[in-house]
Structure 1
Amino acid sequence: MTRWIPLVLLALLGASCSGAGDPDGAPTPPGSSSAPSSASGSSPPATSEPPAAVPPHPVSLPALAQKSFDGGRLRLGEEVARTGQHRQYAVTYRSGGLTVSGRLAVPEGDGPFPAVVLAHGYIDPAIYVNGQGMTRERAWFGDHGYVALHVDYRGHAGSDPDASEGLDMRMGYTEDVVNAVLALRDWDGPVDDERVALVGRSMGGGVVYNALAVQPGLVDAAVVFAPVSSDAVDNFERWIRPDPARDGVARRILQEYGGPRANPAFWEGISARTYFGDVTEPVLIHHGTADDSCPIRWSRETRRLMEQAGVDVTLRVYDGEGHAFGPQFELSMERTGRFLQRHLS
């Protein structure tokens, strides 16, 4: 898989600088002899084997891409909401050996219906409740003929705990979103397996970028609203390092992995933009010019890098709109509907 070659090359270059590959200092292999093999003093021709592939850092997008995803066992619980066009249920499914909770909107009718997986933005897991964060989007999709699975993520609401305690740099959340797609396809409900998209907001937009990078071809399209940066360093410096409430997490991250300057290879390995060349799905980005949480320059840079990598990407800019998309929410959803209708047909 060519996407991870840059990280392997970095590791190999590091090994070459350490002296491990210095022939003058290399130990003699067992069973070999430094004596000539013939009276003429000539040595047998050297044989070389290609260097073994260096495994990616266990907390990285390359490592996540190598996992076996196990999404399935989607189970409907109680009905929690209803409109004239759809019903919503509390649900659970399997992801990475864990049980993850969520909310599912199912349109009225026989289907099959196109589907979306919703990745919500950051909400403190200590106060997060089932289905929080993208309630407007979930209802809109249900009313417009989409099955919509809202992922709570591990460590949220009724999901199993997040064993990493924040040290997996959102890799677990990404795994949960990928497995949500697989769980929808495995479900015997009215889902059209050939028409599935990802939709994320804020932090969830970053999770969507990650999912596109580690599983190209998994879905047919992706939409993000007011997304975080596709560079993990931007997000760490914006929210985690300066937040007193998350000081303990920041210190553990720096102790475990090193900072962006001390260990740039690690931070590149958890940044979706490093792997934009692998993204195969069209992407629609919505961003407001007055967003004081995720600055619009992040999305402009993401668009530039995606275009440079050959991704079919569109950035829709909303003058005066903030992070939450208030006055122009309906416009953003209308544009989302047209985009998905075009790419999920």
Structure 2
Amino acid sequence: MQISKLALGILASALLQFNPAQADELVRFDSAGTRPSAFLERKAREQGVTLPDVPITHLQGYLSRPPGDGPFPAVVVMHGCGGIHPNTKTYWPQRLISWGYVVLVVDSFTTRGIEDTCQRYLPERVFDAYGALDYLSTLPFVDAGHVALIGFSAGGIAALEATKTEGDEQLMDRKFKAAVGYYPVCAPHAGDATVPTLILNGDLDDWSPVERCRQRVSHLSGKGPSVELDVYPGAYHDFDAPDVATPKIKLGHREEYNAAAAEQSFIRVKAFLHQYLQN
């Protein structure tokens, strides 16, 4: 069977336009470091003390991008306490790319030799998020001024911690534009956020109780960026994850995909990101 010259031309054009970064590309970068304040540096000099270096962790992640030259807005994705699963490694990047975003999924565990953090919290993940932001800012196809942070479960905690007032965000040169937390464990008295924030939770989630997030929202000063809470009736932890279509119990907590809640949340997140990253 012969292939027409037109078909060959189309195929060649498609191959020439293909960029390997459009698929999952393994990339390496460092977690963000923090510099001592000018006050601490001055005091150290006066006292003849050498301040300790801030440890930097070498990380890896998975980069995906839409076709074209950009620059595109971008989203940093933080996985849950069990590590990278299909929901954060595949389903969400595909969804975000279709919406026009570059996506960097941060792997906080592999280079640290960690299997999970489901019984503890890893505060260094805030610095991982900002390291990802710094890395994205070096890429010519990324609009570094329009990058959001989205996290799931423990990654959602990291997203909220990374964007709260009086948090580590004030130590960073580059800032996120918006934040999204799927079923995080909220800190009721965390205070205001530094960027517009969207929290999504199921009302039946017994791992990330929605009441804690309601308290967080109720304690806002009203002077900072908006922090919105969407609650989905009948939804459990991991309600957006098709890989848990069969309900399971983990450490005594129920995880279960809820197609209706998931779809509603996707519509909500798409509109939220468009509002703050593409307007």
TM-score (normalised: structure 1) = 0.55
Contact persistence 2:163–2:195 (CA under 8 A): yes
Report deviation, 1:305.
2.2
Report deviation, 1:310.
3.5
Report deviation, 1:331.
1.8
Partner of 1:92: 28
Contact persistence 1:87–1:142 (CA under 8 A): no
Change (3 A) 1:291 1:166: closer
Could you tell me which amino acid in structure 1 is paired with residue 88 of structure 2?
M
Report deviation, 1:133.
5.2
Partner of 2:146: 195
Q: Return the alpha-carbon distance in structure 2 between the equivalents of residues 322 and 150 of structure 1.
A: 23
**Mapping of residues 16-55 of structure 1, within 5 Å:** none
Change (3 A) 1:86 1:218: same
- 1:272-328 Cα distance to aligned partner (Å, 9 max, x none): x44x24x32111111111212211112111211235563411111111111111312
5+ residue gaps, structure 2: 1-17, 34-55, 240-257
1:316 and 2:230 matched: yes
Partner of 2:96: 141
- 1:95-114 Cα distance to aligned partner (Å, 9 max, x none): 25221011111111111111
Report deviation, 1:167.
12
**Mapping of residues 43-82 of structure 1, within 5 Å:** none
Contact persistence 2:75–2:147 (CA under 8 A): yes
Partner of 1:259: none
Q: Of residues 205, 214, 223 in structure 1, which corresponds to 2:156? A: 205
Q: 3-state DSSP class of the match of 2:208?
A: coil
Contact persistence 2:81–2:118 (CA under 8 A): no
Could you tell me which amino acid in structure 1 is paired with residue 201 of structure 2?
H
Q: Return the alpha-carbon distance in structure 2 between the equivalents of residues 280 and 98 of structure 1.
A: 25
Q: Return the alpha-carbon distance in structure 2 between the equivalents of residues 141 and 337 of structure 1.
A: 8
Q: Of residues 234, 259, 262 in structure 2, which corresponds to 1:329? A: 262
- 1:161-181 Cα distance to aligned partner (Å, 9 max, x none): 47xx99995221111111111
RMSD: 2.7
Contact persistence 1:87–1:108 (CA under 8 A): no
Q: 3-state DSSP class of the match of 1:186?
A: coil
1:285 and 2:199 matched: yes
1:301 and 2:215 matched: yes
Q: Return the alpha-carbon distance in structure 1 between the equivalents of residues 92 and 216 of structure 2.
A: 23
Q: Return the alpha-carbon distance in structure 2 between the equivalents of residues 298 and 145 of structure 1.
A: 33
Identity over the aligned pairs, expressed in percent?
31
Report deviation, 1:336.
0.6
Q: Return the alpha-carbon distance in structure 1 between the equivalents of residues 119 and 130 of structure 2.
A: 19
Change (3 A) 1:169 1:289: closer
Q: 3-state DSSP class of the match of 2:224?
A: coil
Count of residue pairs the alignment pairs up: 208
1:220 and 2:177 matched: yes
Contact persistence 1:94–1:179 (CA under 8 A): yes
5+ residue gaps, structure 1: 1-81, 232-272
Q: Return the alpha-carbon distance in structure 2 between the equivalents of residues 170 and 201 of structure 1.
A: 14
Contact persistence 1:291–1:322 (CA under 8 A): yes
Contact persistence 1:225–1:287 (CA under 8 A): yes
Report deviation, 1:148.
0.9
1:184 and 2:139 matched: no
Contact persistence 1:86–1:143 (CA under 8 A): no
